[in-house]
């Protein structure tokens, strides 16, 4: 164990660091923080790295303009260190068509993290603006980073990937708090809890015993664990009579988007979907819903009569297919298709289309370009190479499915956005997430995606069913338990019953209001401490 004197000396050395040493400390602390995310889930490391963030802001007091620029710069380096190892896997997408996109890989691996690092920079600056000289400055940091993370989730279409709140999603008992306060409330608690040891360097001369903050944080962490364990024990997994089969083809990207491989793709899907999964299995005849992943075909499905006929022949009466597909907009027969939707179809045993959902939240640079027309004139193209970019859908809505609860469809990274998952007045019975994580290879990305989708299930109290091209496909109950899973890089089918939904959670009913109340209460505490210090 490190002694108190050595701990204080370490904290003071970080506070007094300046120049490149200060930047290096922030960069390393941010990089270590990435270990808190899936698949490592080494969240105790944050008890080391978040105190470093507090001390860096302490040290910013020596800078100009009340230390705001120095705090922001430290936050930028912390964020860059955090996002580069956390999002390195995005670079794999640029190697799928290496002759076209490989030259952009360094810009993606460093450019996107550099942009995202602006948000921790803002969070550090906001914290510095309300900074105190006692343990309540831990709350100031939690306020600043919660506000900046919330902005990251919404600004310029939003990208809340690996928000700090996901650090408390393992073990599962800790994640249950998301049913009350959602991701942003979890983000506030993560920062406040893990930054609390920073107060141990304060000493008794600053008014209060320095151990109070970390002890209170540990008690809060224990209370979260107890609440979660009780909630899990009171809500065991319950299953409906709806039988699901998820088909995970594990297709490589150069095949998945190659029209010349049309016959090969269809044959693989049909054979795999009807594969017996055990001695008692009769293939697809055992299930009510067959699910294929996002953008399953290298063609417009409903314009290929032979493919629709093969699907109709595959499906027995009473079974429907939910599948991803690129969808051409309505138009006269034979009209040239220049743009398309990324969609989900529900198809019955007669080959009829029962329902369609068009993806609302498109991926920047993957499915569209910011300032699309201008960038195309400069020669740029998004990864999917759809001229003009994909067309966004118009509204989020549940899909009607025969003999099953209504399903809320989410395509790819739509599952990472909290709060907009389920409309309050249109509650579905389950969430289906079709995705193609094959863009990112055998990396940490698919594990992070699964972690975030699972938290949506806990927030809403709804089961989550994921079908992924290369994995990780899974059936998740509304408390976040993984009922069945098909691991990354495997070809196969996953059979499971659909879990039963819970009653609407506090978060499902109130959204981000509880998190906002927590942040506002913390802000009141910090402001009162600042006023009391100035009055003393």
Measured torsion, CA atoms of residues 468, 470, 476, 480, in degrees rounded to the nearest 10: -110
Annotated active-site residue in 149, 367, 412, 460 = 412
> Can you tell me the distance from the alpha carbon of 346 to that of 352, in angstroms, rounded to the nearest whole number?
8
The per-residue pLDDT for 299 is 83
> Can you tell me the distance from the alpha carbon of 19 to that of 75, in angstroms, rounded to the nearest whole number?
14
Per-residue pLDDT tens, the chain, 536 aa: give them: 567 788 888 889 999 999 999 999 999 999 999 999 999 999 999 999 999 999 999 999 887 888 999 999 999 999 999 999 999 998 877 766 666 677 777 887 899 999 999 999 999 999 999 999 899 999 999 999 999 999 999 998 899 999 999 999 999 999 999 999 999 999 999 999 999 999 999 876 555 688 899 999 999 999 999 999 999 999 999 999 999 999 999 987 655 566 667 888 899 999 999 987 666 677 888 899 999 999 878 888 888 899 999 999 999 999 999 999 998 887 666 667 778 899 999 999 999 999 999 999 888 777 776 666 666 665 666 555 566 678 888 888 899 999 899 999 999 989 999 987 655 667 899 999 999 988 788 899 999 999 999 999 999 999 999 999 998 999 999 999 999 999 999 999 999 999 999 999 999 999 999 999 999 999 999 999 988 876 65
Annotated active-site residue in 149, 256, 359, 460 = 359
**Is there a catalytic annotation at residue 359?**
yes
The per-residue pLDDT for 108 is 79
How far, CA to CA in Å, does 293 sit from each of 290, 324, 471? Answer: 10, 6, 10
- Among candidate residues 143, 221, 155, the one with its CA nearest the CA of residue 187: 143
Residue at token pair 């942003």? 184
The per-residue pLDDT for 371 is 62
**Is there a catalytic annotation at residue 412?**
yes
**Burial of residue 304 (number of CB atoms within 10 Å: 0-12, 13-18, 19+):** middle
What is the helix (H) or strand (E) element at residue 410, kind and residue range? strand 407-411
Annotated active-site residue in 170, 294, 459, 460 = 294
């Amino acid at each position: 164990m490190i002694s108190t004197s050595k701990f204080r000396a370490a904290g003071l050395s970080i506070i007094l660091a300046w120049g490149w040493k200060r930047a290096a400390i922030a960069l390393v602390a941010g990089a270590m923080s990435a270990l808190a995310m899936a698949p490592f889930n080494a969240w105790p490391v944050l008890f080391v790295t978040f105190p470093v963030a507090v001390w860096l802001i302490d040290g910013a007091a020596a800078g100009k303009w009340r230390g705001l620029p120095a705090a922001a710069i430290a936050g930028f380096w912390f964020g860059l260190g955090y996002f580069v190892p956390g999002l390195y896997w995005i670079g794999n997408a640029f190697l799928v068509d290496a002759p076209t996109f490989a030259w952009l890989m360094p810009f993606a691996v460093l450019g996107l993290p550099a942009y995202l690092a602006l948000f921790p920079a803002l969070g550090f600056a906001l914290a510095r603006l309300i900074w105190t000289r006692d343990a309540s400055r831990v709350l100031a940091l939690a306020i600043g980073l919660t506000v900046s993370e919330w902005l990251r989730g919404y600004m310029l279409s939003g990208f809340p990937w690996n928000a700090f709140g996901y650090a408390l999603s393992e073990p599962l008992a800790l994640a249950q708090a998301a049913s009350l306060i959602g991701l942003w409330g979890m983000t506030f608690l993560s920062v406040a809890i893990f930054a609390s040891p920073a107060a141990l360097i304060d000493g008794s001369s600053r008014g209060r015993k320095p151990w109070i903050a970390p002890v209170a944080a540990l008690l809060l962490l224990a209370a979260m664990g107890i609440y979660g364990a009780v909630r899990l024990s009171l809500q065991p997994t319950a299953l409906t009579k709806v039988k699901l089969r998820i088909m995970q083809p594990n297709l490589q990207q150069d095949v998945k988007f190659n029209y010349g491989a049309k016959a090969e793709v269809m044959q693989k899907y049909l054979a795999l979907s009807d594969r017996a999964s055990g001695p008692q299995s009769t293939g697809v005849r055992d299930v009510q819903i067959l699910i294929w992943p996002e953008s399953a075909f290298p063609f417009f499905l409903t314009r290929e009569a032979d493919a629709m006929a093969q699907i109709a022949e595959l499906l027995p009466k009473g079974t429907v297919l939910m599948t991803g597909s690129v969808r051409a907009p309505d138009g006269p027969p034979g009209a040239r298709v220049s743009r398309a939707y990324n969609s989900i179809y529900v198809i019955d045993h007669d080959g009829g289309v029962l329902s369609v959902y068009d993806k609302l939240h498109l991926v920047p640079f993957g499915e569209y370009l910011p300032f699309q027309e201008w960038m195309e004139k400069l020669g740029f193209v998004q990864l999917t190479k759809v001229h003009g970019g994909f067309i966004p859908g118009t509204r989020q809505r549940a899909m009607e499915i025969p003999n099953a609860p209504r399903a809320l469809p989410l395509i790819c990274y739509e599952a990472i956005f909290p709060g907009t998952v389920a409309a309050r007045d249109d509650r579905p019975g389950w969430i289906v997430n079709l995705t193609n994580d094959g863009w990112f290879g055998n990396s940490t990305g698919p594990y992070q995606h699964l972690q975030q989708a699972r938290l949506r299930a806990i927030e809403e109290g709804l089961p989550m069913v994921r079908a992924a091209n290369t994995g990780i496909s899974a059936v998740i109950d509304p408390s976040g338990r993984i009922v069945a899973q098909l691991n990354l890089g495997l070809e196969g089918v996953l059979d499971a019953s659909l879990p039963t939904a819970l009653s609407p959670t506090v978060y499902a009913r109130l959204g981000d209001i509880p998190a906002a109340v927590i942040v506002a209460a913390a802000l009141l505490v910090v402001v009162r401490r600042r006023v009391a210090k100035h009055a003393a």
